[in-house]
Structure 1
């Protein structure tokens, strides 16, 4: 049985947005994540923080979605930062070399605080 998957956007501020995922990030859910992230980019939030604290599983489809989001954000002069990544995904990023392209922070708050365009008002 799979965990119910949810996509939330708990923070938007200027160019920044947090997209928080929970549940299994896999072939069934990756397209929805990509679609929602691209909507945020199109709405003027090209600097995305993917809060993965609630992700219980991530397969290659989830990784592929993150890479696609990173490319689209980059094309929009933005960025993709990962926050609170599960250990298994951290290993997957390391094996694929994506950890050299994606910034990682221990929490979404830390990722927001580290972003140069972060404003203290939410």
Structure 2
């Protein structure tokens, strides 16, 4: 049995928020991720960093959810940045070409620093 799936929001500041996922990101957990991300966008955090360091598995449902969140963030004049992408998701992003649209960083800290830099220079 795997560890329970978790969604945490360890950081919010103005338009920016980090949503940290851990466990299996699949068809069973994707709706909760989407709902939490859209809640963050709705309350004024359209610039999201998805910290995927704790994700142990991600299937096409997880990828589809990230694409949907990215679209919603764009509609709210925000963005989605990925951090600590698991290998399987990295391959999915590469095969689908979505890696060109979703910036990625090795850690949540580097992604956050990059987003904060973009926000202050905009």
By how many angstroms is 1:87 displaced?
1.0
Alignment of 1:1-122 (within 5 A): 1-115=1-115, 116-117=118-119
Q: TM-score, normalised by structure 2?
A: 0.94
Mapped to 1, the partners of 2:103 and 2:13 lie a distance apart of 19
TM-aligned CA deviation for residue 108 of structure 1: 0.7
Separation in 1, partners of 2:71, 2:37: 11
Instruction: Please state how far the C-alpha of 1:2 moved relative to its aligned partner.
Output: 3.6
Q: Which runs of 5+ in 1 are unaligned?
A: none
Local SS of the residue matching 2:18: strand
Runs (5+) with no aligned partner, structure 2: none
Cα distance in 2 for partners of 1:92, 1:3 equals: 23
CA positional deviation for 1:54:
0.1
Per-residue Cα deviation, 1:23-61 (whole angstroms, up to 9, x for no partner): 000000000000000000001000000000000000011
State the distance in 2 between where 1:117 and 1:45 align: 12
Q: How many residues align?
A: 118
Q: Distance in 2 between matches of 1:89 and 1:60?
A: 8
Q: CA–CA distance in 2 between the matches of 1:38 and 1:2?
A: 26
- The alpha carbon displacement at 1:117 in A equals 2.1
Higher helix share: 2
| Cα distance between partner residues in 2 of 1:102 and 1:92 | 12
Query: How well do the aligned residues superpose, as a CA RMSD in angstroms?
Result: 0.9
Q: How big is the shift at 1:88?
A: 1.1
Could you tell me how far apart the structure 2 residues matched to 1:117 and 1:110 are? 14
